[in-house]
Structure 1
Amino acid sequence: MTRPTDHDAYVAAAPEAFRPSLERLRTLLSRALPEADEIVAYDMPGFSIDGTVVASYAAFSKQCGLYVLPGAVAGHAEEIAAAGLRSTKTGITFTPRRPIPDDLVGRLAQASREEAVGAGG
């Protein structure tokens, strides 16, 4: 994939099977973080508030990922596991066949926002 310049370019360049999942994440994150700016950082589309990347997403060869601040993942670890998803300190991976539930995306985004705003001021 070439370096994306914006969210549209990233989604268009992603594997076709993942494009609907990426569009869904973009929509859900936009709704959950209406004050955030759409950015591209670390070659991934994301959402920034006051210069802090609060959420981002990516497509890989076999899965997609949603990335938020560490406290958001830690605070929702049981829900993530109950949904049958894998997580790291800052990311949750999923496939189109087993997506992250919409309401969980919203809660993760809000928790990440609260962590960013709390840390920044």
Structure 2
Amino acid sequence: MNSKIPKSIDEYIKNFPNEVQQILQTIRSTIQKEVPEATETISYAMPTFVLNGTLVHFAAYAKHIGFYALPSGNIAFQKEISKYKFGKGSIQFPLNEPIPYGLIKKIVKFRVNENLEKTKKRIQKKKSKPNHE
């Protein structure tokens, strides 16, 4: 991939070989189907989906797809991701193995619900504060 930061997910995907482009596009459409109201952007030079805050990031590398569901996404799916290399908020899906699109869908759904709950709590907190006027 070139060093210029892409301005869109389309631009990001075009920087990779065809077989990797297909994987990235499938990940993108998996997320879009799960959360059609989410906004697409580039954050940290990676494709990112946002709805009431960041949902997930994903990125292609020489030998794997990096999927970033923040620490909470990894904690919630520890058992399912244990077969992959993972860190605090990242998972590596090897390019020489089938990409677990079903797992990606489940993680995205979890992150949507988590962000909605955080938003509800923030709203409730604001409403419960006494109004000193």
Pairwise TM-score range, normalised by the shorter structure = 0.7 to 0.9
* CA contact 1:73–1:90 (8 Å) conserved in 2: yes
Q: How many residues align?
A: 118
TM-score normalised according to structure 1 size: 0.87
SS in 1 for 2:67: strand
What are the Cα deviations for residues 57-100 of structure 1, in whole angstroms up to 9, with x where unaligned? 1012222111113222111110112xx31211211111222233
Alpha-carbon spacing, 1:47–1:30, altered in 2? closer, same or farther (3 Å) = same
* Larger gyration radius, structure 1 or structure 2: 2
Aligned to 1:24: 26
Aligned to 1:95: 94
What are the Cα deviations for residues 4-36 of structure 1, in whole angstroms up to 9, with x where unaligned? 111110000134442121111101111111110
Q: Which runs of 4+ in 1 moved over 6 A?
A: none
SS in 2 for 1:93: strand
Structure scoring higher RCO (CA < 8 A, sep ≥ 6) equals 1
1:8-87 alignment runs, 5 A limit = 8-50=10-52, 52-81=53-82, 84-87=83-86
Alpha-carbon spacing, 1:102–1:112, altered in 2? closer, same or farther (3 Å) = same
* CA contact 1:69–1:115 (8 Å) conserved in 2: no
Which residue identity lines up with residue 110 of structure 1 in the other structure?
A: K
Mapped to 2, the partners of 1:70 and 1:113 lie a distance apart of 14
Identity of aligned residues (%): 26
SS in 1 for 2:116: helix
Question: What is the alpha-carbon root mean square deviation over aligned residues?
Answer: 1.5
Unaligned runs of 5+ in 1: none
Alpha-carbon spacing, 1:114–1:69, altered in 2? closer, same or farther (3 Å) = farther
SS in 1 for 2:56: strand
Unaligned runs of 5+ in 2: 121-133
Alpha-carbon spacing, 1:85–1:99, altered in 2? closer, same or farther (3 Å) = farther
